[in-house]
Amino acid sequence: MKAARLEEGKLEIRDLPSPVPGEEEALIRISAAGVCHSDLHIVRGDWEGVPQSGVVGHEAIGVVEALGPGAERYVSVGDRVILGLGGTGGGYWCGACEYCMRGEPRHCAQTKGIMGTFAEQFCVWAKSLVKLPESVRDQEAPLACGGLTAYGAVKKLFKHQIQPGRPVAIVGAAGGLGHYAVQIASAFGYKVIGVDIGAERLKFVESLGAHMAVSAEDAAEVVQRELGGVDASIVFSARMAGFDLGLELLRRGGLFVAVGLPATSEGNLQLNPFQFFLKDPTLIYSAVGNVQDMRELVDMAATGRVKSHIGRSGSLSELHTIFDELESGSYVGRAVITDLGR
């Protein structure tokens, strides 16, 4: 089978043996794989401590080809499934520890991630798979991480008593994750203020159903003048400037949800203690979601309430170019590899 590998910082397409499913694993024939910004960070070596070697890719849709022992309890050969769960916690979790029991399996001491979906075939823990209806097309593969991450972040609003109808800022609203969050938050009844850069991207944000689309350079003035600040900011930007803006947009006592993960070279999030005291925000980080969140998101996609905007698609051999285009912001929304065999 063909698969992408990162070898000493260089991306290569290799011919590798087909994997064999182990205990409770399913072998998936991948029909589409999403290209996530975190894949780009890994390939570029942006995150200190993350090795630049091994397989890459962590969001995909495919068909179950074979089952390992015990996997038949969860899926059957021929099932069409989505896999990934954001990569960091979708490979295994114990199901019994305090974190698993409260729906946060990525913190489980036994958790394993998913990595390697830029390949024709992939073995995955069957319990993490979610079956798909025919109405969810293959190009919705980015729901596996981008969509799920956005869904998990928006659900944090409920957890922190931010009620539907209240103003919520999405920073990086036209991006691969942000465009999902605009749709999801709007579907849940929030007044969405989409923040991004450039007229084309702002027009795209408006088309997604945002109450207001405003440029990053004008956002602080416009939001404070017209709304007196927002109840919550969800920041998908991979730049520290986006984090700073998200904090600036908040009204007193607001909720700040960090989702983007900037390169290490961007530095640290800094807070002025006196401003922190005056604004009294709640600061949290939101990473991916769990298998139940994925089921709920699939239901939203199946009924048309959430849709992936695909700005680029191509074959596995084009992955280098697609990464370059993602880095330069050449397309809006997500990229999908739709031909893993070449």
Q: What is the CATH number of the domain that holds 135?
A: 3.90.180.10
Domain boundary among 285, 303, 329: 285
What pLDDT, on a 0 to 100 scale, did the predictor assign at position 86? 67
Q: Say whether both 9 and 77 belong to one domain.
A: yes
Could you tell me if 293 and 274 lie in one domain?
Answer: no
Check whether residue 17 and residue 137 sit in a common domain: yes
Is there a single domain that holds both residue 11 and residue 140? yes
Q: Is the pLDDT of residue 333 over 80?
A: yes
- Rounded Cα gap, residues 307 and 182, in angstroms: 11
Please give the Cα distance from 291 to 152 (Å, whole number). 11
Pairwise CA distance, residues 210 & 217, whole Å: 18
Q: What is the reported pLDDT for 54?
A: 84
- Eight-state DSSP code of residue 49: T
Domain shared by 152 and 223, yes or no: yes
For the segment 72-89, the average pLDDT, to the nearest whole number, is 89
One-letter amino acid for residue 9 of the chain: G
- Domain holding 278: CATH number? 3.40.50.720
261 confidence band (pLDDT: 50, 70, 90): confident
d(CA 127, CA 120): 21
Are 108 and 33 members of one domain? yes
**Tokens 């979708």 appear where?**
90
User: What number is the average pLDDT over the span 200-212?
Assistant: 96
Is pLDDT at 24 greater than 70 in this prediction?
yes
Query: Domain range holding 269?
Result: 148-285
The span from the CA of 51 to the CA of 23, in Å, is: 27
237 and 214, same structural domain? yes
- pLDDT per residue over 124-169, tens digit each? 999 999 999 999 999 999 999 999 999 999 999 999 999 999 999 9
Same-domain check for residues 79 and 54:
yes
Q: Of 267, 285, 303, which one is at a domain's C-terminal end?
A: 285
Mean confidence (pLDDT) of the chain:
94
Residue 227: its pLDDT value, please?
A: 96
Q: How many residues in the chain?
A: 342
- What is the number of other CB atoms lying within 10 angstroms of the CB of residue 156? 18
Residue 239 dihedral angles phi and psi, to the nearest 5°: -120, 145
Same domain for 127 and 177, yes or no, is no
Q: Do 305 and 278 sit in the same domain of this protein?
A: no
Which of 193, 136, 151, 133 minimizes the C-alpha distance to 307? Answer: 136
What is the pLDDT confidence band of residue 49, given thresholds at 50, 70 and 90?
Answer: confident
Q: Could you say which of 242, 259, 285 is where a domain stops?
A: 285
- Identify whether the C-beta of residue 275 lies closer than 8 Å to the C-beta of residue 244: no
φ, ψ of residue 212 to 5 degrees: the values are -150, 140
**Cβ contacts of 101 within 8 Å, gap of 6 or more:** none
- Does 53 or 220 have the greater pLDDT score? 220
164 and 247 fall within a common domain: yes
Q: 275-279 long-range contacts, Cβ below 8 Å, gap at least 24? A: 278/252, 279/247, 279/250, 279/252, 279/253, 279/254
When pLDDT is cut at 50, 70 and 90, the band that residue 27 belongs to is very high
Task: Tell me what pLDDT residue 87 has.
Answer: 62
Count other Cβ atoms within 10 Å, centred on residue 114: 25
Please state the pTM of the whole predicted model. Answer: 0.93
81: confidence class by pLDDT, cuts 50, 70, 90: very high
| Structural domains counted in the chain | 2
88, pLDDT greater than 90: no
Instruction: Tell whether 28 and 61 lie within a shared domain.
Output: yes
* pLDDT attached to residue 288: 83
